[in-house]
Structure 1
């Protein structure tokens, strides 16, 4: 890939991290407001982003975020296929790359649905409904309950990985943050990853429950996980803390957009390598 091509890919990656950060800021901020009873909502990414349509020039803002999310999806796929971050071919490295590939597919779907909404071609369904739809389809397949249960375990595994990252505190390892800002960036990232760990654990638990009961209605997405927290004793406190963590992860995403070390791969060399393998 020519130098200008690599620069373009790096720019797309940074736009992507920024768009993901804004999305989490909206999800977490709205949920914090709901927790303290001053409006807001406990929804997922789709419902949070659709709030923009009610604002002046909201369709433009939503369209820009949709473009950024599509850029993030592209970067995740490229990152996973070319191993741009150097995770390697160990079991852990391959699992991380597979997770990034799945992340790319998910964010690509979110980008597409948001782009359609921005263009006035229908509003996207809720995160919970989308999760229930694909779970219902999966349950109808051979060994469907086992497949849904396996997905639930994978999601819980991702939650444990986020929790480990929050506990170890190495969230700034790939950031070139100024020295005087490194501490607050690390605390921000750890808080954000801890909140993601909790929500992923809940979502995975709902999937396993759906597999056991063979009932897709038990499945919940991010919005459903936040609502489940709110239903617990002192739920508004749990919701407020978790939502603040998600908002913190959103701000951390903006930090990543600016300071993350991104080494775009030479896609021409990668393409030649794939051709050599498939000959």
Structure 2
């Protein structure tokens, strides 16, 4: 990978970290009544669009997200880490591709907001998609499958946190011992928080499947509300702080991880 492509990929990973830091910071502020709001990725884009020079901020963010899309597709197609083409490798590379699609859609949303003057337009994307699925034959089964996919993603976050899988890459960066320990802790906390949020999204999706009610489904914002309603503000604040830690970990990852062939 040449130098320009590598910088573009690192910029993309940093932008993902920036988005997660804002999700965590906005939600943490909302939890303690200090302004802010329970935010998902779209909410972050709306917040950026409301700032002075909002369209410029959205443009930079969209460019960064496209850098992350490029990196994920590069991982999936070129396989620079030699993941392989066995069953586990294929599943991992499909996961990279799906991640690229998700962040590509987020980049498209940012670009659309630029041309709409910072307004996203009508929302409810996840609920609308689930409502569409429920209207189809075997719709509840399809939504149940979607819930299972989210569950698999949540379990994978916990696996990343506690299997030591990401630890090897951090150790390979040869950081100072204190810095390395701090970075590893942000990784543990970040992946755990992300796993909890995606796990709640899975639960809400399963509930929508069982009740045939798309209003029961939800994304990150609804997961935050569920956590606050069921477990209290302190738990919500801890999870939000964990997502901020995940964002910081992405910054470190962008700086130090290997991105060559």
C-alpha separation in 2, matches of 1:192 and 1:177: 21
The corresponding residue for 1:191 is: 189
Tell me the residue number matched to 1:221. Answer: 219
1:17–1:72 contact (8 Å) kept in structure 2: yes
Gaps of 5+ in 2: none
- Is residue 34–residue 41 contact of structure 1 (8 Å, CA) maintained in 2? yes
Q: Which residue of 2 aligns with 1:173?
A: 168
User: Quick one: distance in 2 between partners of 1:138 and 1:74?
Assistant: 30
**Root mean square deviation, CA, Å:** 1.8
**Do the aligned residues in 2 keep the contact of 1:43 with 1:224 (CA within 8 Å)?**
no
Instruction: Find the counterpart in structure 1 of residue 134 from structure 2.
Output: 139
Report SS of the residue matched to 1:142: coil
| Length, aligned pairs only | 258
TM-score, normalization: structure 1?
A: 0.87
Written as runs of structure 1 = structure 2, the 5 A alignment for 1:193-208 is 193-208=191-206
Distance change >3 Å, CA 122–CA 50, structure 1 → 2: closer
Task: Name the SS of the counterpart of 2:137 in structure 1.
Answer: coil
Q: Does 1:88 align with 2:84?
A: yes
> Which piece of structure 1 moves more, 69-78 or 252-261?
69-78
Structure 2 residue 114 is matched with structure 1 residue 112: no
Deviates more, 1:85-94 or 1:7-16: 85-94
Q: Structure 1 regions of 5+ residues with no counterpart? A: 265-279
Cross-structure match for 2:254 = 257
Aligned partner of 2:59 in structure 1 is: 63
Which deviates more, 141-150 or 12-21? 141-150
Question: What secondary structure is seen at the aligned counterpart in 2 of 1:224?
Answer: helix
Distance across 1 between alignment mates of 2:2 and 2:253: 18
Structure 2 residue matching 1:141: 3-state secondary structure: coil
Q: How many angstroms apart in 2 are the aligned matches of 1:257 and 1:177? A: 15
Provide the rounded CA distance (Å) in 1 between the counterparts of 2:29 and 2:164: 28
